[in-house]
C-alpha cells in the first residue's frame, strides 16, 4: 500500500468549501468510479471515498482541505500521476495554483 497526502489552504469559509468538496466528489464519482459519502460537522466535514484499490478521506474546514488516501498495490505504481491529477482538480476548483504541500 502507498499513502497519498494532499493539503490545500483556502479562504472560502466552510459553506463555500463544502460546495467545492462536493464538486470534487462528483468528479471523482464520474471520472474514477469512486463511491463518495459526505458527512457535515459543526466545524469540519468528512468526505470519504472508495473504490477497488483506493480508500481515503477529505477533511474540509473553513481554512483547509486535507486529503489522505491509501492506494493498493496496482494503484501505487501510478501514485505520482494520481497525486498530480487530484492536485490539479483541487487547484482548478479553488481557482488558484498550488501553493501548499503535496506530501
**Range with lowest mean pLDDT among 42-51, 63-72, 89-98:** 89-98
Full set of structural domains in the chain with CATH: 2-94 (3.30.160.110)
CA distance 98 to 15: 21
Residue 88, CA distances (Å) to 9, 40, 73 in order: 14, 24, 23
Q: Give residue-wise pLDDT tens across range 68-95.
A: 999 999 888 888 998 998 888 888 888 8
Query: What percent of the chain has pLDDT above 70?
Result: 92
- Determine phi and psi for 82, rounding to 5 degrees: -65, -45
101 pLDDT above the threshold of 70: no
- Which pLDDT belongs to residue 97? 62
Higher pLDDT, 61 or 101: 61
Q: What is the mean pLDDT of residues 12-26?
A: 95
Residue 15 has pLDDT above 90, yes or no: yes
Query: What kind and span of H or E run contains 56?
Result: strand 54-61
State residue 52's pLDDT score. Answer: 94
Amino acid at each position: 500500500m502507498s499513502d497519498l497526502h494532499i493539503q490545500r489552504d483556502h479562504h472560502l469559509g466552510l459553506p463555500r468549501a463544502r460546495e467545492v468538496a462536493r464538486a470534487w466528489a462528483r468528479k471523482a464519482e464520474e471520472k474514477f468510479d469512486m463511491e463518495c459519502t459526505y458527512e457535515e460537522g459543526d466545524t469540519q466535514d468528512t468526505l470519504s471515498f472508495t473504490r477497488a484499490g483506493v480508500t481515503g478521506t477529505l477533511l474540509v474546514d473553513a481554512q483547509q482541505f486535507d486529503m489522505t488516501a491509501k492506494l493498493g498495490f496496482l494503484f501505487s505504481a501510478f501514485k505520482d500521476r494520481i497525486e498530480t491529477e487530484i492536485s490539479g482538480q483541487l487547484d482548478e476548483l479553488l481557482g488558484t495554483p498550488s501553493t501548499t504541500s503535496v506530501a
